[in-house]
Amino acid sequence: MFGLRKTWIDPGPGIAMVQIHYTWTRPEAEPEWADAEEAVLVPQAGAPGLRTAVIEVPRFVDDATAYSLHHVFFVVGVNDDTSSPVFTEDIVAREITYVDETGRYTAVGVVWSAVEASPELSVPNYTNAAMDGLPFESADAGTAPGHGSIFEFVHAQPLPHVFRGMVWGLRGSQIRYGHHLVRQGLPEPAENSESWDDNGGSGWTVDL
């Protein structure tokens, strides 16, 4: 799963609550609302009328990285209730690579979020990248790499070491990302280390 922020702007006063119902399907399939997820959008301080919620959506649907996200807003007003039309958006993925020319790192993670209008609205997500040539990869792509001793497996591979991880988001959106660089399992534990490469604080961006 990964976190995705959805927003709503009140069209006027008198709105008590806004709730989002959402579900996902294969591309172009009709949604089934019986098992839909739901969340309440929270008013944002300093932005009158803006409400947001972070929803959790899958990275894969039927083993595919691209699928349709369907959602509808239910609006509770002081005098009446209403709902929005159903919105359908495409979720797509893009591969991010990190090339370790010297074989320094035993694992690499990708930290990423959609570029939002305001930085504080960004939702951080994590992908554990897989290295080309390794006979295994992480069973959970959304968690940080483990600190087990994989030094010998990594350093048995020819240079350069290429790590590949996926980022997800709405089609047409922009993703900002950085790298989590892990050096673990070395014969001298004092040489183990973790660091972050975020391009001097600005990260890198990719369009989906």
pLDDT tens per residue across span 60-111: 999 999 999 999 999 999 888 999 999 999 999 999 999 999 999 999 999 9
The residue ranges of every structural domain in the chain are 2-92, 93-207
Class of domain 93-207: mainly beta
Give the DSSP letter of residue 120: G
User: For residues 208 and 173, is the Cβ–Cβ distance under 8 A?
Assistant: yes
Q: Which two tokens stand for residue 1?
A: 């799963």
Maximum pairwise Cα distance, the chain: 69
Distance CA 111, CA 101 (A): 21
Fold of domain 2-92: Immunoglobulin-like (2.60.40)
156: left (phi over 0), alpha (psi -120 to 50) or beta: alpha
pLDDT at 140: 52
Which tens digit of pLDDT belongs to each residue from 15-29?
999 999 999 999 999
Whose tokens are 């495409």? That residue is 90
Q: Is there a common fold for 2-92 and 93-207?
A: yes
Q: Which of 112, 93, 97, 116 is nearest to 169 (CA)?
A: 93
Distance CA 201, CA 82 (A): 43
Of 191 and 146, the structure prediction assigns the larger pLDDT to 191
pLDDT band at 139 (very low <50, low <70, confident <90, very high): very low
